[in-house]
Amino acid sequence: MRIILAEDNDILRKSLSFFLESKGFTVDQFSDGKDALDSIKINKYDLILTDINMPGISGMEITQYVRETLNLDTPVIILTSSGVEQTELDSFDIGANEFIAKPISPAVLLVRINKLLKIKA
């Protein structure tokens, strides 16, 4: 299974991708939203895991582009942290499958990923 991970915080990004790789996933990691989206355009991913606020473009814009322009139903998990972000998400149903609030429990993340991948399979 191939996952793309977009998160601008180095420690969190490296940690999550190490964790997911140790669970057998292939992880492509990006710290810039635009680079991540470019990679989504040319590669096939089983799941998209993205932060909201990043340099380049935001996780919400990535999701919207994936759903509306690329017309893909790839599962999208958005990592949220502040209450402000939650408000924005509440107001705009942008087609993400899951929201996981930071701080992220690796175990919870794994469960949600597996759940989404199973549903799709």
Q: Where are the alpha helices (DSSP H) in 32-121?
A: 33-42, 59-64, 83-91, 106-120
Would you count residue 15 as binding other proteins (CB under 8 A)?
yes
Gyration radius of the chain's alpha carbons: 13
CB of 103 to other proteins, least distance (A): 4
Residue from 26, 43, 105, 114 in contact with other proteins (CB under 8 A): 105
d(CA 106, CA 80): 15
Would you count residue 24 as binding other proteins (CB under 8 A)?
no
Residue from 28, 32, 64, 99 in contact with other proteins (CB under 8 A): 64
Would you count residue 65 as binding other proteins (CB under 8 A)?
no
The one segment of 40-48, 69-77, 88-96, 113-121 that binds other proteins by CB under 8 A: 88-96
Say what the alpha-carbon torsion angle 41, 45, 47, 52 is, to the nearest 10 degrees. Answer: -30
**Rounded to whole angstroms, what are the CA distances from 87 to 6, 12, 52, 112?**
21, 23, 12, 22
Binding residues for other proteins, rule: CB under 8 A, are 7-12, 14-16, 18-19, 22, 53, 60, 64, 81-84, 86-87, 90-95, 102-107
